[in-house]
Structures are given as structure tokens and as C-alpha cells.
């Protein structure tokens, strides 16, 4: 009886460790970057502005192939990290913002908020890491394109158009081919 209990216990431990190993094999990151330009006339202190949509080519088919999976086998996609980097002008930083939000969309559906940062300090610098929402993003990564939009409130006006590079890391879990 003791040996039967030991064998059962060993099988349970093996099953749990094996499942964790399988999840690691089937989980990978997809990194995407996109540049967004916000016209200076859209940055008005005190007003919440919704920026124009910027189309992002998803092109994940090749990434899925490298990971030995396919779009139809993707089970879960979440945004794990998003960083905004000021590209231009060289003398500007994010101190002009009070808050910012990033939205994602696909055709014929409402945009969904995926990240935000509130109470941005005046000395924010040229890089902001946003807080991510725990939103299921499968359909966006599987689509051939998706759109990104910014929504934000400024504390002060700017003298030039603002160019921001958005760096995103998506965590993907999928079944193997």
C-alpha cells in the first residue's frame, strides 16, 4: 500500500512539472514597434484629445511559423509591456502630458484600452512605461493589421509635432503544430 501511494504521489508531481514545461514551450513573446505622430495643434492644455488611428501591420504569420504554431492555434495573447519613447523633437519630453492612454482596434469593432499612465510628472523624461490592462488580445495579433490610438490630456502646449515610438511586448500562448 505504501508503494502504491508513493507511485501515485510521484505521478502527480510529474504531471504538474510536465504541464509547466509544456506551457513554457508553448509560450513566447512577440515584440512590435510603431511610430505615432501627434500634430502640435492636437495638444491643447486641459482638453482630452483622441489621436488619429495608426495602422500596424501585424505580420505574425512568420513569427507563429518560427514558434512551430499557427494563428488558429493561439489560445491567449496579453500585453505584458509597453513603453513610449519620444523620438522628436529632440528638446521635448513627456512632461507636457497629464495622462495618456493607448487603445487598440480592428475594423468594425470598438477600440479597447490596453495601457495607461495617469498623473505624469513634469520631469517625466523622454520615456514612459505604461500600466497594462489585462485584456485578451488574440483577435488583434491574429489580424493582418490593427490600429493604435492615443488618448490623453496635456498640461501645456507644445511648439512642434510630437513623434513617439511605441514598443510593445505581447505574451502568446499557443498549441504546437
CATH number, domain containing residue 160: 2.60.120
Dihedral over alpha carbons 105, 106, 107, 113 (to 10 degrees): -20
- 81 vs 5: which has the higher pLDDT: 81
Each residue of 106-130: pLDDT tens digit?
A: 988 899 999 999 999 999 999 999 9
Is 11 part of a structural domain of the chain?
no
21 has pLDDT over 60: no
Q: Which residues of 120-146 are buried (b: 16+ CB within 10 A; e: fewer)?
A: beeebeeebebebeeeebbebbbbeeb
CB neighbourhood size of 52 (10 A): 12
Is 44 part of a structural domain of the chain?
yes
Is 151 part of a structural domain of the chain?
yes
- 7 vs 121: which has the higher pLDDT: 121
Dihedral over alpha carbons 102, 145, 105, 116 (to 10 degrees): -10
Q: Give the helix/strand (H/E) hosting 76.
A: strand 74-88
pLDDT at 1: 57
Each residue of 38-57: pLDDT tens digit?
A: 888 888 898 888 888 899 98
Is 14 part of a structural domain of the chain?
no
Query: Which neighbouring-strand residues pair with 102?
Result: 115, 150
The mean pLDDT value for 61-89 works out to 92
12 has pLDDT over 80: no
pLDDT at 9: 58
The mean pLDDT value for 140-158 works out to 91
Is 166 part of a structural domain of the chain?
yes
Is 21 part of a structural domain of the chain?
no
pLDDT at 142: 87
Q: Which domain holds residue 96?
A: 29-174
Give how many domains the chain has, as a whole number.
Answer: 1
23 has pLDDT over 70: no
What is the value of pTM for the model shown? 0.82
Is 7 part of a structural domain of the chain?
no
CB within 8 A of 168, min separation 6: which ones?
Answer: 31, 32, 33, 34, 79, 81, 82
Is 9 part of a structural domain of the chain?
no
SS3 3: helix
Alpha helices in 26-158 (DSSP H): 61-66, 138-142
Amino acid at each position: 500500500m505504501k508503494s502504491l501511494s508513493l507511485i501515485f504521489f510521484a505521478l502527480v508531481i510529474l504531471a504538474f512539472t510536465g504541464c509547466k514545461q509544456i506551457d513554457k514551450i508553448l509560450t513566447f513573446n512577440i515584440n512590435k514597434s510603431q511610430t505615432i505622430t501627434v500634430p502640435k495643434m492636437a495638444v491643447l492644455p486641459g482638453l482630452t484629445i483622441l489621436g488619429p488611428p495608426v495602422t500596424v501591420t501585424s505580420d505574425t504569420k512568420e513569427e507563429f511559423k518560427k514558434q512551430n504554431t499557427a494563428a488558429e492555434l493561439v489560445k491567449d495573447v496579453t500585453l505584458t509591456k509597453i513603453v513610449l519613447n519620444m523620438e522628436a523633437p529632440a528638446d521635448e519630453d513627456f512632461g507636457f502630458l497629464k495622462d495618456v492612454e493607448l487603445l487598440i482596434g480592428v475594423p468594425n469593432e470598438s477600440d479597447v484600452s490596453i495601457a495607461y499612465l495617469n498623473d505624469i510628472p513634469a520631469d517625466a523624461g523622454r520615456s514612459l512605461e505604461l500600466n497594462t490592462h489585462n485584456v485578451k488580445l488574440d483577435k488583434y495579433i491574429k489580424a493582418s493589421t490593427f490600429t493604435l490610438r492615443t488618448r490623453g490630456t496635456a498640461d501645456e502646449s507644445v511648439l512642434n509635432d510630437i513623434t513617439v515610438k511605441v514598443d510593445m511586448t505581447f505574451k502568446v500562448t499557443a498549441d504546437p503544430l
